Structure 1
């Protein structure tokens, strides 16, 4: 049992577990203390489609150790997930919240809150200086956005929205707008909640974001060809959040720039729910 839970009496825990509101509002979770197999809560660990998912030259990952997932005993939070992506591997990601025990598949019109606790480091202690992707709200091909949302880290973490490309020309980076950014040291636990209302209409979806328990102000920065619409108070981005055959979350370490690093991402208190309170990491 995680250490923060030790401060709660057994009676309080029992009352919490019996609460129909608490159980109904959480529609998916991935607690390795309860369900230790990756396939219990995720469709799979995606280690890359070798040799197609190469770094710079086709076949350059030959002989490199595989991407992996394990659990470790964190001194603060107990048993947590560790996803490792070695150098010269391009990908190590939890793919889809579609496990055999815990299962969630996003549908058009869904309005969900995705919460988790996270930190990142490198196995050799080097600093991550290139933007590596650590979260994707991904679209299954054929798609016009590929990933409507993602989060990238290079010492600064960004939440990014990507506009649709109906003509199929250019790179996704040309349609990226940075909604939020924050400097976060490596090996430091932080928490996130992303609200996503799934909608395929331009600016029909909703995005809100909480960092370490506080709702964040969003804005269009460093954009080129695309800007999301932002509410007057800055708390809500209106954006196309549904795309492709379907959309789904991915967590881990990914992209070509990540090939430079033997990087590990750690995850705890991973939940998807219908209310903010149900998924907010404690």
Structure 2
């Protein structure tokens, strides 16, 4: 009888240990909780997002206007990485193929915004465009026309700001690399006050140092009645050029604006 009682107790303890081990195997380790982190991250990113220019959306819901001078086209095409891209094609002999964003969003004095996207340029290495991205002024009493421009010239990709009088200042440049995807984020403190506005810039996930030796340029970033972002190809009339653009976003944080691929 005593032997049977001991055997029963041993079996009971084994079952209890087995159940406890299963519970331990299913329990989270440390302080990690992937589902909770993903849920929180998604909520935070959604809250920070001000505008989404995803190419899966209709053109009219993304662009305020399509600007074509010549016979260019703007289409949504399948992205090899998944989803869709905006394809801005400017044939030789045409002057401009651009999308004027951002439908439903207008930056105002004092805003602090991040504009993110990724882009693949198909063009000759020598192509000299006026812009592949610009922060363009609209309305009356313009003194800058385009406070910020990203352009190609003499084999380089060049980031510029423009002071009143449409005076260019080259802030940054790298050798132009075509046929590959590059990622961009521009931070803009929106202001007509030349002492309060500023810009910062990330290229392929790395914050860039400008020609002034710092990561920030103090400048006037608002002109006319308002400024809007534009993507595409502007200039270099003699060459056929294409700008593939994806993951266009405007947000209040870098994380929400930065391209994910």
Same fold, TM exceeding 0.5?
Answer: yes
Q: Tell me the residue number matched to 2:76.
A: 71
Q: Tell me the residue number matched to 2:186.
A: 194
SS of match in other structure, 2:194: coil
Alignment of 1:39-188 (within 5 A): 39-48=60-69, 66-98=71-103, 103-122=104-123, 126-142=124-140, 143-154=142-153, 155-165=155-165, 172=166, 175-188=167-180
Question: Contact (CA 8 Å) 1:199, 1:205: kept in 2 or not?
Answer: yes
Classify 1:104/1:178 alpha carbon distance in 2 versus 1 (closer, same or farther; 3 Å): same
Gapped regions of structure 1 (runs ≥ 5)? 1-10, 49-60, 166-171, 221-232
SS of match in other structure, 1:120: strand
Give me the CA root mean square deviation.
Answer: 2.1
Q: Tell me the residue number matched to 1:56.
A: none
Pairing 1:249–2:248 present = no
Q: Tell me the residue number matched to 2:249.
A: 271
Matched residues in 2 for 1:265 and 1:32: separation?
14
Measured after TM superposition, the shift of residue 96 of structure 1 is 2.2
Gapped regions of structure 2 (runs ≥ 5)? 1-33
Question: Contact (CA 8 Å) 1:16, 1:22: kept in 2 or not?
Answer: no
In our comparison, the structure showing a higher alpha carbon Rg is: 2
Classify 1:88/1:239 alpha carbon distance in 2 versus 1 (closer, same or farther; 3 Å): same
Classify 1:201/1:237 alpha carbon distance in 2 versus 1 (closer, same or farther; 3 Å): same
Q: Tell me the residue number matched to 2:49.
A: 26
Matched residues in 2 for 1:219 and 1:185: separation?
20
Question: Contact (CA 8 Å) 2:68, 2:97: kept in 1 or not?
Answer: yes
Alignment of 1:214-225 (within 5 A): 214-220=206-212
Matched residues in 2 for 1:42 and 1:216: separation?
29
Matched residues in 2 for 1:95 and 1:13: separation?
38
Question: Contact (CA 8 Å) 1:17, 1:23: kept in 2 or not?
Answer: no
Matched residues in 2 for 1:195 and 1:31: separation?
19
SS of match in other structure, 1:88: coil
Question: Contact (CA 8 Å) 1:128, 1:261: kept in 2 or not?
Answer: no
Matched residues in 1 for 2:36 and 2:95: separation?
41
Matched residues in 2 for 1:195 and 1:267: separation?
18
Question: Contact (CA 8 Å) 2:88, 2:243: kept in 1 or not?
Answer: yes
Question: Contact (CA 8 Å) 1:148, 1:162: kept in 2 or not?
Answer: yes
Classify 1:13/1:76 alpha carbon distance in 2 versus 1 (closer, same or farther; 3 Å): farther
Matched residues in 2 for 1:81 and 1:45: separation?
12
Matched residues in 2 for 1:45 and 1:240: separation?
26
Give the aligned length. Answer: 225
Q: Tell me the residue number matched to 2:3.
A: none
SS of match in other structure, 2:193: coil
